[in-house]
Amino acid sequence: MSEDRKPEETKRGQMARLSRLPVFLALEGKRAVLAGGSAAAAWKAELLSAAGANVDVYAEAVSDELRQVAQDAPGGNVTLIARAWSPEDFASAVVAIGAFEDDVDAKKFSDAARRAGVPVNVIDKPAFCDFSFGAIVNRSPLVIGISTDGAAPVFAQAIRAKLEALLPNGFANWAAAAAKWRNAVKAAGLPFSGRRKFWQLFTAHALANPQNAPTDHDFARFIAEVKGLGAAVESGSVTLVGAGPGDPELLTLRAVRALQSADVILFDDLVSRDVLDFARREARKLLVGKTGFGPSCKQEDINALMVSLAKQGKRVVRLKGGDPLIFGRAGEELDACKAAGIAAEIVPGITAAQGAAARLGVSLTDRNFSRRLQYVTGHARNGKLPDDVDWRALADPATTTAIYMPVRTLGALVTRALAEGLDPATPSAAIARATRPDQSEIFAPIGELPARLAQAALPGPVLVMLGNSLGGLLSDSSRGAAAPLKKSAANS
């Protein structure tokens, strides 16, 4: 039996170093100084004006682009002043931009701005800049800035293009509605948890319907739904989330949303730490370690902790490797929530067999070889080989079988399955840490696999798959000896 273990809180990671601090300036109605009349200066004048600044441009020669911006400014006024800048021009300015070809001129401007206490940027000359302009995704009031610290502007533009494609233009309307409704939500008499629920409903609806402009009817409906919950809105909730087999890119969008809204995350040892990077930074992260045959938290302790946190009004995410509904004890945790009157939901994940098969490029239900896919656990509650395995199904040549938690009992399982008719030449694979960068595999006929696995001592978690649909893996001479492929009777 495994040693008992207590939940451990994972300390919040320190933020990694930032090359630049992203700051969003409030420039509405404020004065900006711009020196230079080039096309590059015109673009900066347009940005400043769009942010609401009144831009005074000092230049003896002005480009056509800059004249056009001044004639049709997107926001604040753009005033052209036909002379060179002077130190007195920085008075009352909140920001200064310079467009100079010559470093000497750039330094004079930068030094003067700094003496006046005005943050300064000189276009394309980072040595003279207090701040930089990044690539911008504009769904105002939703605004995203992207910076590579000047290292790769083209890369930043490419990232911006991807974000532009991901973020519908309609998000601008929803962000504007959020600003419009914020005071009304506060005045609606909702408790803190009710206001949080309102914004959860708002966000879910905005993400699902970005092109539908928000209306006062939407506001009234969200308020009514929150008030209709009554005392339940003060209660917490539990969400069982499948973390997938390891690769964080295999998380579902719904799983990411759950992680980003959680107050507390209870996670297992088998959950990839990269997955936790998607969690809300402020969330508490508690390791409720459950490892095969190692020190583990008791399931009843996990249930009690989960329920206790939810009763405190917390949004609890129970994060499990793979899919919580496949050998994840989800039933016991759902029963605990139901008995305590706690709202619970499930976010399914990609189970290890799917992830491993995808990484190996093999179909688990190839119609030439398999008519059934089955998932089998390698050990029972007592840690030994289950005594209720359907051995005839395991020996069926037209079946692909995935065996979870197989390491300690694989030898006994294979011995019994061979005695029940399993062909020892059946192709099989043991996959460790499926989908992760350090994934490793053993390919062998099933009769040889237990000895090969014991010798290799692969790091966990390990999954074993067997069936004639895996035959192509063995036929690759770089992976192991060839094994004959057998078509199922159903498809021959």
* Range 100-108, long-range pairs (CB < 8 A, 24+ positions): 100/35, 100/36, 100/125, 103/128
Q: β-pairing, 284-287 with 8-10?
A: antiparallel
Ranges of H-type helices in 6-147: 39-50, 64-71, 103-115
Structure tokens of 405? 């938690």
Structure tokens of 484? 């004959």
Is residue 402 within 8 A of residue 212, CB to CB? The reply is no
Structure tokens of 187? 């005045």
Q: What Cα–Cα distance (Å) separates residue 401 from each residue in 117, 215, 378?
A: 70, 52, 11
Which residue, 328, 330, 355, 357, is CA-closest to 250? Answer: 355
User: CA-based diameter of the chain, in Å?
Assistant: 96
Q: What Cα–Cα distance (Å) separates residue 23 from each residue in 28, 125, 146?
A: 15, 20, 11
Q: What Cα–Cα distance (Å) separates residue 127 from each residue in 119, 122, 265?
A: 13, 8, 44
Is residue 37 within 8 A of residue 81, CB to CB? The reply is no
User: Residue 277: how many CB atoms within 10 A of its CB?
Assistant: 11
Query: For 322, which DSSP code?
Result: B
Just list the catalytic residues.
268, 290
Strand partners, 16: none
Is residue 171 within 8 A of residue 139, CB to CB? The reply is yes
**What are the two backbone dihedrals, phi and then psi, of residue 144, each rounded to the nearest 5 degrees?**
-120, 125
Q: CA geometry: angle at 177 spanning 175 and 181, to 5°? A: 125
Structure tokens of 194? 């009710």
